């Protein structure tokens, strides 16, 4: 199974388990049970054990899973053992929050560049980053080996921002705007919508 592309559902669940493991480690835990993973992921414990057992024997009955070991193995399975650079388009409230967050670093992502179209924001400092003009997107993507772009721009600016990233060679885009972004084959666009997540939760947990 590790030699082939993972089914979407398995990859999504493993990514969620990795997020939970990272937070559990930060809270001082060294082991975690499938029951606890279930409580935080809303995935049935039997499904969790099935997902993990497909890649080997990880846990011990009565002890649970060793967090460090399981974290390392899931990163290997998801091909996420290294560090990946990403660029944020938009330095408004959302873009600034993303660029300043440590959550990405916890999972091997480094916010390497922050761009904005507003002249008044160019040159301002957000954390360790200086806001750059859009004219520098292409050169910066190439120089820093950026493979992921994040759209934190108004809906009307989303497509143009995505086009700049794609033209520069970025093939994975996370879209935090409400706009529908068109992309050619070979470019993955993931729309991140809080409203969509709320609708999902309402349907599955309150009905």
What average pLDDT score do residues 66-94 get?
86
Q: How far is residue 157's CA from residue 90's CA, in Å, rounded to a whole number? A: 10
Structure tokens at 57: 């024997």
What pTM does this model have? 0.71
Residues for the chain: how many in total? 207
Residues facing residue 111 across a β-bridge: 86
Show the domains of the chain with their CATH numbers: 8-77 (1.10.10.10), 84-195 (3.40.50.720)
β-pairing, 129-130 vs 132-133, is unpaired
pLDDT for 134 equals 97
pLDDT band at residue 55 using 50, 70 and 90 as cut-offs: confident
Lowest mean pLDDT among 35-39, 94-98, 106-110: 106-110
What average pLDDT score do residues 133-144 get?
97
Residues 6 or more apart whose Cβ sits within 8 Å of residue 168: 137, 138, 141, 142, 146
Q: How buried is residue 168: exposed, middle or buried, by Cβ count under 10 Å (0-12/13-18/19+)? A: middle
pLDDT at position 59 over 70: no
pLDDT for 2 equals 41
Query: Quick one: which of 175, 172, 176, 174 has its CA closest to 186?
Result: 172
β-pairing, 64-66 vs 31-32, is antiparallel
What average pLDDT score do residues 25-36 get?
89
Q: What is the pLDDT of residues 113-131, one digit of tens each?
A: 999 999 999 999 998 999 9
Say which residue the tokens 């794609």 belong to: 166
């Amino acid at each position: 199974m590790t030699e082939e592309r993972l089914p979407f559902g398995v990859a999504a669940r493993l990514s969620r388990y990795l997020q939970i493991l990272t937070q559990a480690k930060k809270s001082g835990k060294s082991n975690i049970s499938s029951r606890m993973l279930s409580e935080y992921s809303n995935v049935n414990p039997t499904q969790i054990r099935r997902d993990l057992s497909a890649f080997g024997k990880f846990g011990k009955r009565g002890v649970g899973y060793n967090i460090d070991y399981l974290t390392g193995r899931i990163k290997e399975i998801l091909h996420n053992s290294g560090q990946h650079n990403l660029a944020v388009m938009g330095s408004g409230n959302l873009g600034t929050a993303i660029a300043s967050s440590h959550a990405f670093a916890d999972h091997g992502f480094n916010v390497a560049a922050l761009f904005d179209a507003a002249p008044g924001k160019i040159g301002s400092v957000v954390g360790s980053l200086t806001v750059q003009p859009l004219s520098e997107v292409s050169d910066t993507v190439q120089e820093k080996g950026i493979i992921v772009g994040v759209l934190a721009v108004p809906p009307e600016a989303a497509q143009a921002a995505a086009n700049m990233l794609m033209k520069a060679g970025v093939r994975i885009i996370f879209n935090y705007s409400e706009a529908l972004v068109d992309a050619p084959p070979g470019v993955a666009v993931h729309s991140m919508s809080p409203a969509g997540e709320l609708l999902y939760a309402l349907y599955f947990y309150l009905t």
